[in-house]
Amino acid sequence: MTAGRPRLSYQYVVLRCVPRVDREEFLNVGVVIYCQATDYLAVSWQVDRDRVAALYPALDLDQVCDALDFVDGVCAGDERGGAAATKPIGQRFGFLKAPKSTVLQPGPVHGGVTHDPVRQLEHLVEKLVG
């Protein structure tokens, strides 16, 4: 099924919801994947409101979802991503993978190879977030 299809390298970061940076507790809420060979940059995310509320009930989950929508805008290169969304795709990934001291933080950069970056993103979200 994958015979003849090229193996494509990709990088990804897991997006973490960190309600209290001082406690270093987090929940994985999304994945950003970047495949330079195909100019593919995308995010997939899901927030389990009950899990996050169990960790920190006072957290404004709508703000977390707004931050994730911003990431989606940066990936898509549309107005939701502000000025960062106007940059070339590699710079947009660089912006998203940069460490931040906010409630939504990227984890370390990881890499791999795949025949299908879209399916790989689905797999990573299932494995690391779901």
Tell me the pLDDT tens digit for each residue of 73-130: 999 999 999 999 999 999 999 999 998 878 999 999 999 999 999 999 999 999 999 8
- Residue 2: per-residue pLDDT: 58
Cα 98 → chain centroid: 12
Enumerate the domain spans of the chain: 8-128
- The predicted pLDDT at position 74 comes to 98
How big is the CA angle at 79 (ends 75 and 83), to the nearest 5 degrees?
A: 80
Computed on alpha carbons and rounded to an integer, the radius of gyration of the chain in Å comes to: 15
The pTM of the full predicted model, rounded to 2 decimals, is 0.92
Please write down the HEC assignment for all residues of 90-101. HHHHHHHHCCCC
